[in-house]
Structures are given as structure tokens and as C-alpha cells.
Amino acid sequence: MTCPSVFCRARCDRCGRFFRAQVDFYTPSSFFRHYRVGERVGELDELPPNTTYTGQSSRYCGRCLLMWEREEIRLWYEILARWVDSGRLSIVRRTSGEAFSAADIRYNGEWESSLWRGRGECTLFTSWPDSECEVTWLGQMVPRGGEPDGRFRDALYSDVAEELRHLRWVSVLEVDRPAKVSVDGDLRLWVTFVSSDLTG
């Protein structure tokens, strides 16, 4: 499966401004390229007329997407801090036996989110829980990378998603807006956003 894309005008779900959206769509074609909405495709593109493909695009403009990412990162740490406060979670350094306080975790979350520039993955996902820490959640050890059944990570995702909704943001599973990319009889590409009143 390849993932070509169409650039079109879309309205940000957060601020309401229009922005240039990249709609990635999925096709069995081996040909990959970027298109503009309304552009005519060629024979080599392997996109036959009168076909429709499933696609997706960010529902936020670049500025709002960055704000959403920073808020999401801050909330990962905030939820962990609340769990420490409530006794559901403990994170202890193996070398010193020192436990992370909720204040330590909140500080790390504020620092991490303030440095975020929208590239890569925050250290919560890449290095935590790390080998220097012993993590206990609901009385059970959490191995590095999370437990096999995913209960710890699922609970964290769920609580973060709930907090994002309270702040009028969507969860990580909803940040992509579904779209349909159509090739008409004249071999021109068009975009329809499934959950939006906008058609490109």
C-alpha cells in the first residue's frame, strides 16, 4: 500500500481558520506523489476514473496542532502525577531508591511540553518507564515498555483523552479527520471531509 496525498483548503476545527491541509489517501497503486485538489491525474498515476479512496488529514491547522501536541504531552505527565498523589502509581529510581514526587512529574511535563516543536516523539514514549526506574501501578510492577496486556497504557490513554475533551480538544485517536478522495470521470481529484461541511 502506498500513500499519495492531495493538498486542499480546510477549516481548522479549533480556531476556525482555513489552512492548507494534506490529505493522505490509500490506494493499491505503486505510484506515489502529491497532488492539488482539482488536478488531473495521468495514466502513470494508476488512479482510474470514477473511483473513491479512503483518506485522512489533521483536523487542526499547524499552529493549533502544535498547541494540541503540547497540551497532550503536559496531560500525560499530569495524569501520572495525579496517580502518584492518589497512591495508584509509584516511580522509584533504582540507583538511589528515591521516589519521584507528583511535583517532579508535573515539572517534567511542563518542561517537556514547552520544548516540543512537533517533531519525533516525546520522551515519555521513548524512554519511560526506563531501566533506571522501578514503576509500580495498582500494586503491580510495570515492565519496561509497559505490561503485555496494556492495562497501564490503556488507562493512561483513557484518562488523557477525557482531560483533552474537557479542554475542548480531541483525543489522539480522533486528531485525524476522515476524508474521501475521488477521481471523477475527467480524471480530476476531489476531496470530501467525512465529518465536515467542507468539500475541496
Convert the pLDDT of each residue in 123-177 to its tens digit. 554 445 556 788 889 988 887 666 666 788 889 889 999 999 999 999 988 999 9
CA pair distance 192, 198, nearest whole angstrom? 7
Q: Label the pairing between strands 5-11 and 34-36.
A: parallel
- 173 vs 191, residue with greater confidence: 191
Q: Are residues 25 and 87 in the same domain?
A: no
Mutual angle of helices 62-86 and 102-115, in 10-degree steps: 170
Q: Are residues 50 and 125 in the same domain?
A: no
- Please give the grid coordinates belonging to residue 141: 510492577
Phi/psi at 176 (5° precision): -90, 130
> Averaged over 47-52, what is the pLDDT?
93
Q: Are residues 24 and 55 in the same domain?
A: yes
Torsion of CA 24, 36, 188, 56, to 10 degrees: 20
Question: What local confidence, expressed as pLDDT, does residue 74 receive?
Answer: 92
Q: Are residues 34 and 68 in the same domain?
A: no
- Please give the grid coordinates belonging to residue 192: 470530501
- Please give the grid coordinates belonging to residue 71: 497540551
* Residue 198 belongs to some domain of the structure: no
Residue 36 has pLDDT above 60, yes or no: yes
- Please give the grid coordinates belonging to residue 46: 494508476
Q: Are residues 68 and 156 in the same domain?
A: yes
Q: Are residues 68 and 161 in the same domain?
A: yes
